[in-house]
Structure 1
Amino acid sequence: MPDETPYARLTPDLVLDAITACGLWPDGRLLALNSYENRVWQVGLEEGSPVVAKFYRPGRWSDAAILEEHAFAQELADAELPMVAPLGFAGRTLLHHDGFRYALTPRHGGRAPSLESADQLEWLGRLIARMHSVGARKSFSHRGFLDRDTLIVQPMHAVLASSLLPTSLRERYRQVIEHVDRCIGARFQAAGPVRNVRLHGDCHPGNVLWTDAGPHFVDLDDARMGPAVQDLWMLAHDERAMQALLDGYASMRDFDHAELALVPALRAMRQVHYAGWIAARWHDPAFPAAFPFVAQARWWEQHLTDLHEQADELE
Protein backbone atom coordinates (compact mmCIF):
# COMPACT_ATOMS: atom_id res chain seq x y z
CA MET A 1 0.00 0.00 0.00
CA PRO A 2 1.76 3.20 -1.13
CA ASP A 3 2.37 5.84 1.53
CA GLU A 4 0.87 8.61 -0.60
CA THR A 5 -2.55 6.92 -0.60
CA PRO A 6 -2.71 5.19 2.79
CA TYR A 7 -6.42 4.42 2.62
CA ALA A 8 -6.69 3.40 -1.03
CA ARG A 9 -7.55 -0.20 -0.07
CA LEU A 10 -9.93 0.69 2.76
CA THR A 11 -13.11 -0.19 0.90
CA PRO A 12 -16.54 -0.64 2.48
CA ASP A 13 -16.16 -4.41 2.02
CA LEU A 14 -12.88 -4.38 3.93
CA VAL A 15 -14.50 -2.37 6.75
CA LEU A 16 -17.32 -4.90 7.00
CA ASP A 17 -14.86 -7.80 6.94
CA ALA A 18 -12.92 -6.19 9.79
CA ILE A 19 -16.08 -5.95 11.88
CA THR A 20 -16.98 -9.55 11.11
CA ALA A 21 -13.47 -10.62 12.17
CA CYS A 22 -14.35 -9.43 15.68
CA GLY A 23 -17.28 -11.83 15.86
CA LEU A 24 -19.88 -9.15 15.16
CA TRP A 25 -22.47 -9.30 12.40
CA PRO A 26 -22.78 -6.04 10.42
CA ASP A 27 -26.06 -5.43 8.66
CA GLY A 28 -24.46 -3.59 5.73
CA ARG A 29 -25.20 -0.05 6.91
CA LEU A 30 -22.08 2.13 6.81
CA LEU A 31 -21.87 5.84 7.53
CA ALA A 32 -18.55 7.62 7.03
CA LEU A 33 -17.97 10.05 9.90
CA ASN A 34 -16.07 13.31 9.70
CA SER A 35 -12.38 12.53 10.13
CA TYR A 36 -9.32 13.40 8.06
CA GLU A 37 -6.38 12.08 10.07
CA ASN A 38 -7.94 8.64 10.46
CA ARG A 39 -10.92 6.99 8.78
CA VAL A 40 -13.99 6.51 10.96
CA TRP A 41 -17.19 4.64 10.13
CA GLN A 42 -20.44 4.05 11.96
CA VAL A 43 -21.35 0.41 11.35
CA GLY A 44 -24.84 -1.00 11.85
CA LEU A 45 -25.13 -4.46 13.42
CA GLU A 46 -27.69 -7.22 13.00
CA GLU A 47 -28.19 -7.21 16.77
CA GLY A 48 -27.64 -4.34 19.16
CA SER A 49 -26.60 -0.74 18.67
CA PRO A 50 -24.16 0.38 15.97
CA VAL A 51 -20.44 0.59 16.67
CA VAL A 52 -17.89 3.15 15.52
CA ALA A 53 -14.83 1.74 13.74
CA LYS A 54 -11.71 3.91 13.74
CA PHE A 55 -8.96 2.90 11.29
CA TYR A 56 -5.66 4.47 12.32
CA ARG A 57 -3.51 6.32 9.82
CA PRO A 58 -0.52 4.09 9.00
CA GLY A 59 2.76 5.31 10.46
CA ARG A 60 1.38 8.07 12.69
CA TRP A 61 1.39 6.36 16.08
CA SER A 62 3.19 3.24 17.24
CA ASP A 63 1.15 0.35 18.58
CA ALA A 64 2.43 1.20 22.07
CA ALA A 65 1.21 4.81 21.74
CA ILE A 66 -2.24 3.69 20.56
CA LEU A 67 -2.50 1.25 23.46
CA GLU A 68 -1.66 4.13 25.84
CA GLU A 69 -4.56 6.06 24.32
CA HIS A 70 -6.87 3.09 24.89
CA ALA A 71 -5.64 2.53 28.44
CA PHE A 72 -6.15 6.21 29.31
CA ALA A 73 -9.69 6.13 27.92
CA GLN A 74 -10.48 3.05 29.99
CA GLU A 75 -8.88 4.59 33.08
CA LEU A 76 -11.14 7.62 32.69
CA ALA A 77 -14.21 5.45 32.16
CA ASP A 78 -13.33 3.38 35.23
CA ALA A 79 -13.20 6.64 37.21
CA GLU A 80 -16.82 7.19 36.14
CA LEU A 81 -15.96 9.96 33.72
CA PRO A 82 -18.09 10.16 30.56
CA MET A 83 -15.34 9.00 28.18
CA VAL A 84 -16.10 6.64 25.31
CA ALA A 85 -13.53 3.82 25.62
CA PRO A 86 -12.66 1.14 23.04
CA LEU A 87 -14.31 -2.27 23.13
CA GLY A 88 -12.18 -5.30 23.88
CA PHE A 89 -12.17 -8.54 21.88
CA ALA A 90 -10.35 -11.49 23.44
CA GLY A 91 -8.65 -8.95 25.69
CA ARG A 92 -7.45 -6.77 22.80
CA THR A 93 -8.56 -3.23 21.96
CA LEU A 94 -6.09 -2.60 19.14
CA LEU A 95 -7.20 -4.81 16.27
CA HIS A 96 -5.52 -5.75 12.98
CA HIS A 97 -7.07 -6.74 9.68
CA ASP A 98 -5.52 -6.93 6.22
CA GLY A 99 -2.72 -4.49 7.04
CA PHE A 100 -4.86 -1.94 8.90
CA ARG A 101 -5.01 -1.18 12.61
CA TYR A 102 -8.39 -0.27 14.03
CA ALA A 103 -10.50 -0.06 17.18
CA LEU A 104 -14.22 -0.27 17.86
CA THR A 105 -16.17 1.86 20.30
CA PRO A 106 -19.85 2.01 21.20
CA ARG A 107 -21.79 4.56 19.21
CA HIS A 108 -22.83 7.54 21.36
CA GLY A 109 -24.77 10.35 19.79
CA GLY A 110 -25.06 13.94 20.94
CA ARG A 111 -24.80 17.55 19.94
CA ALA A 112 -22.17 20.21 20.47
CA PRO A 113 -22.25 21.94 23.86
CA SER A 114 -23.60 25.46 24.16
CA LEU A 115 -20.53 27.58 24.80
CA GLU A 116 -22.80 30.51 25.66
CA SER A 117 -24.17 28.63 28.68
CA ALA A 118 -22.29 29.28 31.92
CA ASP A 119 -23.89 26.19 33.45
CA GLN A 120 -22.64 23.93 30.67
CA LEU A 121 -19.17 25.50 30.76
CA GLU A 122 -18.93 24.99 34.52
CA TRP A 123 -20.05 21.39 34.07
CA LEU A 124 -17.32 20.88 31.48
CA GLY A 125 -14.79 22.55 33.77
CA ARG A 126 -15.61 20.09 36.55
CA LEU A 127 -15.29 17.11 34.23
CA ILE A 128 -11.99 18.31 32.77
CA ALA A 129 -10.63 18.81 36.29
CA ARG A 130 -11.56 15.23 37.14
CA MET A 131 -9.98 14.08 33.87
CA HIS A 132 -6.76 15.86 34.82
CA SER A 133 -6.80 14.36 38.31
CA VAL A 134 -6.74 10.95 36.65
CA GLY A 135 -4.22 12.18 34.09
CA ALA A 136 -1.85 13.32 36.84
CA ARG A 137 -1.57 9.83 38.33
CA LYS A 138 1.20 8.86 35.91
CA SER A 139 2.80 9.92 32.63
CA PHE A 140 2.57 8.76 29.06
CA SER A 141 5.65 6.85 27.94
CA HIS A 142 5.02 6.74 24.18
CA ARG A 143 2.78 9.69 23.24
CA GLY A 144 5.19 12.56 23.82
CA PHE A 145 4.58 16.15 24.90
CA LEU A 146 2.71 19.13 23.57
CA ASP A 147 5.93 20.99 22.74
CA ARG A 148 7.50 23.33 20.22
CA ASP A 149 9.27 20.56 18.32
CA THR A 150 5.96 18.79 17.64
CA LEU A 151 3.84 21.87 16.97
CA ILE A 152 6.35 24.34 15.49
CA VAL A 153 9.51 22.74 14.09
CA GLN A 154 8.02 19.66 12.43
CA PRO A 155 5.11 21.57 10.83
CA MET A 156 7.51 24.26 9.59
CA HIS A 157 9.63 21.66 7.81
CA ALA A 158 6.50 20.08 6.31
CA VAL A 159 5.42 23.43 4.86
CA LEU A 160 8.88 24.27 3.52
CA ALA A 161 9.07 20.85 1.86
CA SER A 162 5.66 21.32 0.23
CA SER A 163 4.82 22.86 -3.12
CA LEU A 164 1.77 24.51 -1.53
CA LEU A 165 3.76 27.44 -0.17
CA PRO A 166 4.42 29.93 -3.00
CA THR A 167 8.11 30.41 -3.73
CA SER A 168 7.75 34.15 -3.25
CA LEU A 169 6.62 33.63 0.36
CA ARG A 170 9.14 30.99 1.48
CA GLU A 171 11.68 33.27 3.10
CA ARG A 172 8.99 35.43 4.67
CA TYR A 173 7.33 32.29 6.05
CA ARG A 174 10.59 31.08 7.57
CA GLN A 175 11.20 34.45 9.22
CA VAL A 176 7.67 34.66 10.62
CA ILE A 177 7.83 31.13 12.06
CA GLU A 178 11.21 31.80 13.67
CA HIS A 179 9.82 35.02 15.16
CA VAL A 180 6.72 33.26 16.50
CA ASP A 181 8.85 30.45 17.90
CA ARG A 182 11.06 32.91 19.80
CA CYS A 183 7.98 34.61 21.22
CA ILE A 184 6.48 31.29 22.26
CA GLY A 185 9.72 30.22 23.91
CA ALA A 186 9.88 33.51 25.83
CA ARG A 187 6.25 33.14 26.95
CA PHE A 188 6.85 29.61 28.28
CA GLN A 189 10.03 30.73 30.02
CA ALA A 190 8.23 33.66 31.66
CA ALA A 191 5.41 31.39 32.85
CA GLY A 192 7.89 29.27 34.79
CA PRO A 193 7.82 25.50 35.33
CA VAL A 194 4.67 23.88 33.93
CA ARG A 195 3.04 20.88 35.59
CA ASN A 196 2.38 18.45 32.75
CA VAL A 197 -0.47 15.95 32.96
CA ARG A 198 -1.99 13.47 30.54
CA LEU A 199 -4.39 15.56 28.45
CA HIS A 200 -7.29 14.99 26.12
CA GLY A 201 -5.16 17.15 23.85
CA ASP A 202 -7.81 18.22 21.33
CA CYS A 203 -10.70 19.27 23.56
CA HIS A 204 -12.68 21.37 21.10
CA PRO A 205 -16.50 21.43 20.88
CA GLY A 206 -16.53 18.75 18.18
CA ASN A 207 -15.03 16.24 20.62
CA VAL A 208 -17.65 16.92 23.30
CA LEU A 209 -21.09 15.45 22.65
CA TRP A 210 -23.98 16.75 24.75
CA THR A 211 -27.18 14.85 25.50
CA ASP A 212 -30.06 15.40 27.90
CA ALA A 213 -28.02 13.40 30.44
CA GLY A 214 -25.01 15.69 30.03
CA PRO A 215 -21.75 15.63 28.07
CA HIS A 216 -19.36 12.88 27.11
CA PHE A 217 -15.90 13.08 25.56
CA VAL A 218 -14.66 11.29 22.46
CA ASP A 219 -11.43 10.93 20.48
CA LEU A 220 -8.19 10.82 22.45
CA ASP A 221 -6.19 10.59 19.23
CA ASP A 222 -4.17 13.71 20.15
CA ALA A 223 -3.69 12.83 23.83
CA ARG A 224 -0.26 13.99 25.04
CA MET A 225 1.47 15.34 28.11
CA GLY A 226 1.00 19.07 28.58
CA PRO A 227 -0.36 21.92 30.74
CA ALA A 228 -3.94 21.73 32.00
CA VAL A 229 -4.96 24.94 30.23
CA GLN A 230 -4.62 23.17 26.85
CA ASP A 231 -7.89 21.33 27.51
CA LEU A 232 -9.68 24.55 28.44
CA TRP A 233 -8.79 27.29 26.01
CA MET A 234 -10.42 25.78 22.89
CA LEU A 235 -13.77 25.75 24.73
CA ALA A 236 -13.44 29.39 25.82
CA HIS A 237 -14.26 31.93 23.12
CA ASP A 238 -13.93 34.89 25.51
CA GLU A 239 -12.88 35.77 29.07
CA ARG A 240 -16.37 35.14 30.45
CA ALA A 241 -16.39 31.61 29.07
CA MET A 242 -12.91 30.91 30.43
CA GLN A 243 -13.97 32.15 33.86
CA ALA A 244 -16.98 29.82 33.84
CA LEU A 245 -14.73 26.88 32.92
CA LEU A 246 -12.29 27.82 35.67
CA ASP A 247 -15.08 28.17 38.24
CA GLY A 248 -16.10 24.60 37.53
CA TYR A 249 -12.50 23.39 37.35
CA ALA A 250 -11.49 24.97 40.66
CA SER A 251 -14.38 23.28 42.46
CA MET A 252 -12.73 19.90 41.74
CA ARG A 253 -9.01 20.58 41.35
CA ASP A 254 -6.48 23.36 41.88
CA PHE A 255 -5.61 25.34 38.76
CA ASP A 256 -2.34 27.20 38.28
CA HIS A 257 -3.48 30.59 36.97
CA ALA A 258 0.03 31.27 35.62
CA GLU A 259 -0.91 28.87 32.82
CA LEU A 260 -3.37 31.42 31.42
CA ALA A 261 -0.37 33.32 30.06
CA LEU A 262 0.32 30.30 27.83
CA VAL A 263 -2.97 30.54 25.94
CA PRO A 264 -1.70 32.91 23.19
CA ALA A 265 1.36 30.66 22.76
CA LEU A 266 -0.79 27.53 22.52
CA ARG A 267 -3.08 29.25 20.03
CA ALA A 268 -0.12 30.23 17.85
CA MET A 269 1.30 26.70 18.04
CA ARG A 270 -2.03 25.31 16.87
CA GLN A 271 -2.09 27.72 13.90
CA VAL A 272 1.41 26.73 12.82
CA HIS A 273 0.61 23.04 13.27
CA TYR A 274 -2.62 23.33 11.25
CA ALA A 275 -0.81 24.55 8.14
CA GLY A 276 1.95 21.97 8.57
CA TRP A 277 -0.56 19.18 9.09
CA ILE A 278 -2.33 19.95 5.82
CA ALA A 279 0.98 20.26 3.96
CA ALA A 280 2.21 16.94 5.32
CA ARG A 281 -1.06 15.18 4.39
CA TRP A 282 -1.59 16.79 0.97
CA HIS A 283 -0.82 13.49 -0.79
CA ASP A 284 -3.93 11.99 0.84
CA PRO A 285 -6.77 12.61 -1.69
CA ALA A 286 -9.11 13.62 1.12
CA PHE A 287 -7.06 16.72 1.92
CA PRO A 288 -7.12 18.61 -1.42
CA ALA A 289 -10.85 17.89 -1.55
CA ALA A 290 -11.45 19.19 1.99
CA PHE A 291 -8.98 22.11 2.00
CA PRO A 292 -8.76 23.41 -1.60
CA PHE A 293 -8.18 26.97 -0.36
CA VAL A 294 -4.74 25.99 0.98
CA ALA A 295 -3.52 25.68 -2.61
CA GLN A 296 -4.14 29.41 -3.12
CA ALA A 297 -1.46 32.02 -2.50
CA ARG A 298 -3.92 34.34 -0.73
CA TRP A 299 -4.51 31.72 1.97
CA TRP A 300 -0.80 31.69 2.77
CA GLU A 301 -0.72 35.50 2.74
CA GLN A 302 -3.51 35.50 5.34
CA HIS A 303 -1.79 32.75 7.33
CA LEU A 304 1.37 34.87 7.58
CA THR A 305 -0.68 37.91 8.58
CA ASP A 306 -2.40 35.88 11.31
CA LEU A 307 0.95 34.64 12.62
CA HIS A 308 2.28 38.22 12.73
CA GLU A 309 -0.75 39.17 14.82
CA GLN A 310 -0.14 36.22 17.12
CA ALA A 311 3.48 37.30 17.57
CA ASP A 312 2.35 40.84 18.40
CA GLU A 313 -0.03 39.46 21.03
CA LEU A 314 2.71 37.27 22.49
CA GLU A 315 5.05 40.27 22.75
Structure 2
Amino acid sequence: MEPDDLRRAVEAGRTVASEQGLQADEVVVVHNSDRVVLRLLPCDVLARVAPSAQLPDSVFEVEVAHRLTDADAPVGALDPRADPRVQVRDSFAVSLWTYYEPAGPEVVPADYADALMRHHTALRRIDVTAPHVTDRVARALAAVDDREQSPELSDAGRRFLHGTLSGLSAEIGADRARDQLLHGEPHPGNLLNTRHGPLFVDLATCCRGPVEFDLAHGPEEAAEHYAGADPALIHRCRALNWAMFSAWRWRRDDQMPDRDHWRTEGLDRVRAALDRM
Protein backbone atom coordinates (compact mmCIF):
# COMPACT_ATOMS: atom_id res chain seq x y z
CA MET A 1 0.00 0.00 0.00
CA GLU A 2 1.02 3.58 -0.52
CA PRO A 3 2.14 5.39 2.66
CA ASP A 4 -1.16 7.23 3.22
CA ASP A 5 -3.22 4.07 2.67
CA LEU A 6 -0.87 2.13 4.95
CA ARG A 7 -1.29 4.72 7.70
CA ARG A 8 -5.08 4.43 7.44
CA ALA A 9 -4.89 0.61 7.34
CA VAL A 10 -2.78 0.58 10.50
CA GLU A 11 -5.27 2.84 12.26
CA ALA A 12 -8.17 0.62 11.13
CA GLY A 13 -6.44 -2.45 12.56
CA ARG A 14 -5.73 -0.72 15.87
CA THR A 15 -9.30 0.56 16.10
CA VAL A 16 -10.85 -2.88 15.58
CA ALA A 17 -8.52 -4.44 18.16
CA SER A 18 -9.22 -1.69 20.71
CA GLU A 19 -12.97 -2.12 20.23
CA GLN A 20 -12.46 -5.80 21.15
CA GLY A 21 -10.73 -4.80 24.38
CA LEU A 22 -7.25 -5.62 23.03
CA GLN A 23 -4.48 -3.13 23.73
CA ALA A 24 -2.66 -2.10 20.54
CA ASP A 25 -0.15 0.61 21.43
CA GLU A 26 2.50 -0.60 18.99
CA VAL A 27 2.16 -1.84 15.42
CA VAL A 28 4.70 -3.87 13.44
CA VAL A 29 4.08 -4.17 9.69
CA VAL A 30 4.70 -7.84 8.91
CA HIS A 31 3.70 -7.70 5.24
CA ASN A 32 2.70 -4.86 2.92
CA SER A 33 1.20 -5.55 -0.49
CA ASP A 34 -2.34 -5.00 -1.80
CA ARG A 35 -3.33 -5.87 1.77
CA VAL A 36 -1.28 -5.64 4.93
CA VAL A 37 -0.55 -7.90 7.86
CA LEU A 38 0.10 -6.19 11.20
CA ARG A 39 1.36 -7.45 14.55
CA LEU A 40 -0.39 -5.49 17.29
CA LEU A 41 1.32 -5.16 20.67
CA PRO A 42 1.15 -5.69 23.60
CA CYS A 43 -2.01 -7.75 22.91
CA ASP A 44 0.05 -9.77 20.37
CA VAL A 45 -2.65 -10.12 17.72
CA LEU A 46 -2.13 -10.48 13.98
CA ALA A 47 -4.42 -8.17 12.02
CA ARG A 48 -5.11 -8.75 8.33
CA VAL A 49 -6.25 -5.50 6.75
CA ALA A 50 -7.50 -5.32 3.16
CA PRO A 51 -9.26 -2.64 1.09
CA SER A 52 -13.03 -2.98 1.43
CA ALA A 53 -13.19 -4.04 -2.22
CA GLN A 54 -11.63 -7.30 -1.00
CA LEU A 55 -14.27 -7.78 1.70
CA PRO A 56 -15.70 -10.94 0.05
CA ASP A 57 -12.23 -12.52 0.06
CA SER A 58 -11.73 -11.62 3.74
CA VAL A 59 -15.12 -13.06 4.70
CA PHE A 60 -14.35 -16.22 2.70
CA GLU A 61 -10.99 -16.57 4.44
CA VAL A 62 -12.60 -16.36 7.88
CA GLU A 63 -15.25 -18.93 6.91
CA VAL A 64 -12.61 -21.35 5.62
CA ALA A 65 -10.52 -20.84 8.79
CA HIS A 66 -13.49 -21.68 11.02
CA ARG A 67 -14.21 -24.90 9.15
CA LEU A 68 -10.60 -26.01 8.88
CA THR A 69 -9.95 -25.36 12.56
CA ASP A 70 -12.95 -27.58 13.39
CA ALA A 71 -11.52 -30.21 11.02
CA ASP A 72 -8.19 -30.19 12.89
CA ALA A 73 -6.25 -28.81 9.92
CA PRO A 74 -2.72 -27.43 10.39
CA VAL A 75 -3.78 -23.81 9.91
CA GLY A 76 -3.37 -20.51 11.72
CA ALA A 77 -6.46 -19.76 13.81
CA LEU A 78 -8.47 -16.63 14.47
CA ASP A 79 -7.69 -14.96 17.78
CA PRO A 80 -10.03 -16.49 20.40
CA ARG A 81 -10.25 -13.20 22.33
CA ALA A 82 -11.84 -11.31 19.43
CA ASP A 83 -15.15 -11.43 17.58
CA PRO A 84 -14.48 -14.12 14.92
CA ARG A 85 -15.68 -12.14 11.92
CA VAL A 86 -14.53 -9.44 9.52
CA GLN A 87 -14.98 -5.84 10.66
CA VAL A 88 -15.10 -2.88 8.27
CA ARG A 89 -13.48 0.40 9.36
CA ASP A 90 -12.57 3.39 7.17
CA SER A 91 -12.92 1.44 3.90
CA PHE A 92 -10.83 -1.49 5.19
CA ALA A 93 -11.81 -5.07 6.01
CA VAL A 94 -10.11 -6.21 9.22
CA SER A 95 -9.83 -9.69 10.74
CA LEU A 96 -7.89 -10.62 13.90
CA TRP A 97 -5.76 -13.76 14.06
CA THR A 98 -3.53 -15.60 16.50
CA TYR A 99 0.10 -14.54 16.33
CA TYR A 100 2.58 -17.44 16.33
CA GLU A 101 6.19 -16.94 17.34
CA PRO A 102 8.57 -18.49 14.78
CA ALA A 103 10.04 -21.74 16.12
CA GLY A 104 12.98 -22.08 13.76
CA PRO A 105 14.02 -21.93 10.09
CA GLU A 106 11.87 -22.85 7.11
CA VAL A 107 10.04 -26.18 7.24
CA VAL A 108 12.07 -28.95 5.57
CA PRO A 109 10.55 -30.62 2.45
CA ALA A 110 9.49 -33.84 4.22
CA ASP A 111 7.66 -31.89 6.93
CA TYR A 112 6.17 -29.59 4.31
CA ALA A 113 4.74 -32.60 2.45
CA ASP A 114 3.38 -34.08 5.69
CA ALA A 115 1.68 -30.79 6.63
CA LEU A 116 0.21 -30.43 3.14
CA MET A 117 -1.13 -33.99 3.16
CA ARG A 118 -2.83 -33.36 6.52
CA HIS A 119 -4.17 -30.06 5.20
CA HIS A 120 -5.59 -31.74 2.10
CA THR A 121 -7.20 -34.43 4.27
CA ALA A 122 -8.94 -31.73 6.33
CA LEU A 123 -9.99 -29.89 3.16
CA ARG A 124 -11.75 -33.05 1.98
CA ARG A 125 -13.82 -33.00 5.19
CA ILE A 126 -15.27 -29.52 4.74
CA ASP A 127 -17.86 -28.16 2.33
CA VAL A 128 -17.32 -24.68 0.95
CA THR A 129 -18.03 -23.18 -2.45
CA ALA A 130 -14.70 -22.29 -4.02
CA PRO A 131 -13.59 -21.40 -7.56
CA HIS A 132 -11.69 -23.86 -9.73
CA VAL A 133 -8.03 -23.29 -10.50
CA THR A 134 -9.02 -22.52 -14.08
CA ASP A 135 -11.27 -19.69 -12.86
CA ARG A 136 -8.22 -18.06 -11.30
CA VAL A 137 -6.30 -18.58 -14.52
CA ALA A 138 -9.11 -16.87 -16.42
CA ARG A 139 -8.72 -13.76 -14.24
CA ALA A 140 -4.98 -13.70 -14.88
CA LEU A 141 -5.60 -14.17 -18.59
CA ALA A 142 -8.03 -11.25 -18.60
CA ALA A 143 -5.33 -9.02 -17.08
CA VAL A 144 -2.88 -10.12 -19.78
CA ASP A 145 -5.33 -9.57 -22.64
CA ASP A 146 -6.51 -6.15 -21.43
CA ARG A 147 -3.94 -3.51 -22.42
CA GLU A 148 -5.47 -1.04 -20.00
CA GLN A 149 -4.77 -3.40 -17.10
CA SER A 150 -1.24 -4.29 -18.29
CA PRO A 151 -0.09 -1.35 -20.46
CA GLU A 152 3.67 -1.98 -19.99
CA LEU A 153 3.59 -5.63 -21.06
CA SER A 154 5.25 -6.01 -24.48
CA ASP A 155 3.40 -7.60 -27.39
CA ALA A 156 5.78 -10.57 -27.31
CA GLY A 157 5.31 -10.99 -23.57
CA ARG A 158 1.56 -10.72 -23.96
CA ARG A 159 1.49 -13.45 -26.62
CA PHE A 160 3.79 -15.65 -24.52
CA LEU A 161 1.74 -15.36 -21.32
CA HIS A 162 -1.57 -15.74 -23.19
CA GLY A 163 -0.43 -18.95 -24.89
CA THR A 164 1.04 -20.38 -21.68
CA LEU A 165 -1.95 -19.56 -19.49
CA SER A 166 -4.60 -20.73 -21.94
CA GLY A 167 -2.73 -23.89 -22.98
CA LEU A 168 -1.85 -25.12 -19.49
CA SER A 169 -5.27 -24.21 -18.11
CA ALA A 170 -6.93 -26.34 -20.78
CA GLU A 171 -4.63 -29.28 -19.97
CA ILE A 172 -5.10 -29.10 -16.21
CA GLY A 173 -8.84 -28.46 -16.42
CA ALA A 174 -9.54 -31.30 -18.85
CA ASP A 175 -9.53 -34.09 -16.25
CA ARG A 176 -11.29 -33.14 -13.00
CA ALA A 177 -11.63 -36.64 -11.56
CA ARG A 178 -8.86 -35.96 -9.01
CA ASP A 179 -9.95 -32.45 -8.07
CA GLN A 180 -10.52 -31.47 -4.45
CA LEU A 181 -10.39 -28.36 -2.28
CA LEU A 182 -6.89 -26.88 -2.15
CA HIS A 183 -5.05 -24.20 -0.22
CA GLY A 184 -4.36 -22.42 -3.51
CA GLU A 185 -1.02 -20.77 -2.66
CA PRO A 186 0.81 -22.91 -0.06
CA HIS A 187 4.26 -21.51 -0.85
CA PRO A 188 6.83 -21.59 1.98
CA GLY A 189 5.97 -17.99 2.94
CA ASN A 190 2.45 -19.19 3.80
CA LEU A 191 3.65 -22.02 6.04
CA LEU A 192 4.72 -20.97 9.53
CA ASN A 193 7.13 -23.06 11.58
CA THR A 194 5.65 -22.78 15.09
CA ARG A 195 5.89 -24.64 18.39
CA HIS A 196 2.49 -26.11 17.42
CA GLY A 197 4.07 -27.52 14.27
CA PRO A 198 3.85 -26.22 10.68
CA LEU A 199 0.72 -24.11 10.13
CA PHE A 200 -0.68 -22.81 6.83
CA VAL A 201 -1.93 -19.21 6.66
CA ASP A 202 -3.49 -16.93 4.00
CA LEU A 203 -6.54 -19.11 3.40
CA ALA A 204 -8.41 -16.75 1.05
CA THR A 205 -6.84 -18.50 -1.96
CA CYS A 206 -8.74 -21.75 -1.33
CA CYS A 207 -9.86 -23.24 -4.68
CA ARG A 208 -10.54 -26.57 -6.38
CA GLY A 209 -8.09 -28.55 -8.48
CA PRO A 210 -5.56 -31.40 -8.37
CA VAL A 211 -3.28 -31.65 -5.32
CA GLU A 212 -0.35 -31.21 -7.71
CA PHE A 213 -1.35 -27.55 -8.10
CA ASP A 214 -0.65 -27.02 -4.40
CA LEU A 215 2.51 -29.13 -4.48
CA ALA A 216 3.88 -26.98 -7.29
CA HIS A 217 4.07 -24.04 -4.85
CA GLY A 218 6.35 -25.86 -2.42
CA PRO A 219 9.94 -27.12 -2.40
CA GLU A 220 10.61 -29.44 -5.32
CA GLU A 221 11.85 -32.17 -2.97
CA ALA A 222 8.49 -32.22 -1.15
CA ALA A 223 6.85 -34.11 -4.02
CA GLU A 224 9.03 -37.12 -3.22
CA HIS A 225 7.31 -37.35 0.17
CA TYR A 226 3.71 -36.91 -1.07
CA ALA A 227 2.30 -40.34 -1.95
CA GLY A 228 0.54 -40.61 -5.30
CA ALA A 229 1.59 -37.25 -6.72
CA ASP A 230 2.07 -37.05 -10.50
CA PRO A 231 5.52 -35.51 -11.25
CA ALA A 232 4.60 -34.50 -14.81
CA LEU A 233 1.46 -32.72 -13.61
CA ILE A 234 3.49 -30.93 -10.92
CA HIS A 235 5.80 -29.56 -13.63
CA ARG A 236 2.82 -28.28 -15.64
CA CYS A 237 1.28 -26.73 -12.55
CA ARG A 238 4.57 -25.06 -11.61
CA ALA A 239 4.76 -23.43 -15.06
CA LEU A 240 1.14 -22.34 -14.71
CA ASN A 241 1.78 -20.87 -11.25
CA TRP A 242 4.69 -18.79 -12.54
CA ALA A 243 2.62 -17.64 -15.51
CA MET A 244 -0.15 -16.42 -13.19
CA PHE A 245 2.42 -14.80 -10.91
CA SER A 246 3.86 -12.96 -13.91
CA ALA A 247 0.43 -11.87 -15.11
CA TRP A 248 -0.31 -10.22 -11.74
CA ARG A 249 3.07 -8.43 -11.71
CA TRP A 250 2.32 -6.75 -15.07
CA ARG A 251 -0.94 -5.23 -13.84
CA ARG A 252 -0.76 -1.46 -13.71
CA ASP A 253 -2.01 -1.35 -10.10
CA ASP A 254 0.11 -4.23 -8.75
CA GLN A 255 1.79 -3.24 -5.49
CA MET A 256 4.19 -6.11 -4.85
CA PRO A 257 7.57 -4.92 -3.50
CA ASP A 258 10.34 -5.07 -6.15
CA ARG A 259 7.68 -5.39 -8.82
CA ASP A 260 10.00 -4.38 -11.67
CA HIS A 261 12.47 -7.12 -10.74
CA TRP A 262 9.75 -9.74 -10.50
CA ARG A 263 8.26 -8.76 -13.84
CA THR A 264 11.44 -9.89 -15.60
CA GLU A 265 12.26 -12.69 -13.18
CA GLY A 266 8.72 -14.08 -13.39
CA LEU A 267 8.87 -14.45 -17.18
CA ASP A 268 12.27 -16.15 -16.87
CA ARG A 269 10.82 -18.58 -14.30
CA VAL A 270 7.94 -19.43 -16.68
CA ARG A 271 10.39 -20.21 -19.49
CA ALA A 272 12.54 -22.35 -17.18
CA ALA A 273 9.49 -24.29 -15.99
CA LEU A 274 8.31 -24.87 -19.57
CA ASP A 275 11.77 -26.12 -20.53
CA ARG A 276 11.59 -28.70 -17.72
CA MET A 277 8.27 -29.96 -19.08
Could you say what secondary structure the match of 2:37 adopts?
A: strand
**1:260: how far off?**
4.2
Letter in 2 for 1:114: V
1:86 is the counterpart of 2:78: yes
Give the structure 2 partner of residue 252 of structure 1. Answer: none
Letter in 1 for 2:64: F
1:71 is the counterpart of 2:63: yes
**Any stretches of 5+ residues in structure 2 without a counterpart?**
none
Give the TM-score of the pair, scaled to structure 2: 0.82
Could you say what secondary structure the match of 1:18 adopts?
A: helix
**1:212: how far off?**
4.2
Give the structure 1 partner of residue 239 of structure 2. Answer: 268
Residues 168-199 of structure 1 deviation map (CA, whole Å, 9 limit, x = unaligned): xx33123323432453145326x633433222
Distance 1:188 1:92 in 2: 36
Give the structure 2 partner of residue 221 of structure 1. Answer: 204
Distance 2:147 2:72 in 1: 42
Length, aligned pairs only: 275
- On the 8 A contact 1:132/1:228 being kept in 2, the answer is no
Letter in 1 for 2:190: N
**Any stretches of 5+ residues in structure 1 without a counterpart?**
248-254
**1:51: how far off?**
0.2
Distance 1:20 1:104 in 2: 11
Higher relative contact order, structure no. (Cα contacts within 8 Å, ≥ 6 residues apart): 1
Deviation larger for 217-226 or 155-164: 155-164
Distance 1:230 1:185 in 2: 11
1:243 is the counterpart of 2:224: yes
Letter in 1 for 2:39: Q
Give the structure 2 partner of residue 42 of structure 1. Answer: 39
Distance 2:138 2:55 in 1: 13
Give the structure 1 partner of residue 258 of structure 2. Answer: 290
1:133 is the counterpart of 2:124: yes
> Within 5 Å, which residues of 2 pair with 1:87-102?
87=79, 92-102=84-94
**1:79: how far off?**
2.1
Distance 1:105 1:194 in 2: 35
Cα-Cα RMSD: 3.2
Q: 1:164 aligns with which of 143, 152, 170?
A: 152
Q: 1:187 aligns with which of 165, 171, 175?
A: 171
Give the structure 1 partner of residue 133 of structure 2. Answer: 146
**1:52: how far off?**
0.6
Could you say what secondary structure the match of 2:203 adopts?
A: coil
| 1:86–1:121 distance in 2 versus 1, CA, 3 Å | closer
**1:203: how far off?**
0.6
**1:223: how far off?**
1.6
- On the 8 A contact 2:239/2:273 being kept in 1, the answer is yes
